Amino acid sequence: MADISLHYSSKAPLAGTFTAFNQIFATWRRRAQERRELVSLDHRAIRDLGLSASMIQFEANKPFWRA
C-alpha cells in the first residue's frame, strides 16, 4: 500500500487570511462611517434622497457587521 501524505506546507500559510480579515474590517469600518453620516443628514437631504426617518433609523440601528 502506498503512503499518501496530506500535509501541505507553505512559507506563508496565513497571508491570505490576513488579507481577508483586513478586507472584512475595512468593510465594517466603511459601513459604520456611512451609517453615522446617514444619521447626521438633515430632513431636507433625507427627503431629497427619497428616504424616511424610519428608514434612516432602521439602517442606523443595524450592527456594523450586518449588511
pLDDT digits (tens, 9 = 90+) for 5-22: 555 555 666 667 888 899
In a domain, residue 67? The reply is no
Q: Which residues of 36-61 are buried (b: 16+ CB within 10 A; e: fewer)?
A: eebeeeeeeeeeeeeeeeeebeeeee
pLDDT band at 52; cut points 50, 70, 90: very high
In a domain, residue 2? The reply is no
In a domain, residue 11? The reply is no
**Domain count along the chain:** 1
In a domain, residue 30? The reply is yes
**How far apart (Å, rounded) are the C-alpha atoms in residues 32 and 40?**
13
In a domain, residue 37? The reply is yes
In a domain, residue 56? The reply is yes
Host domain of residue 39? 20-60
At 2 the pLDDT is 58
In a domain, residue 15? The reply is no
**pTM here?**
0.69
In a domain, residue 51? The reply is yes
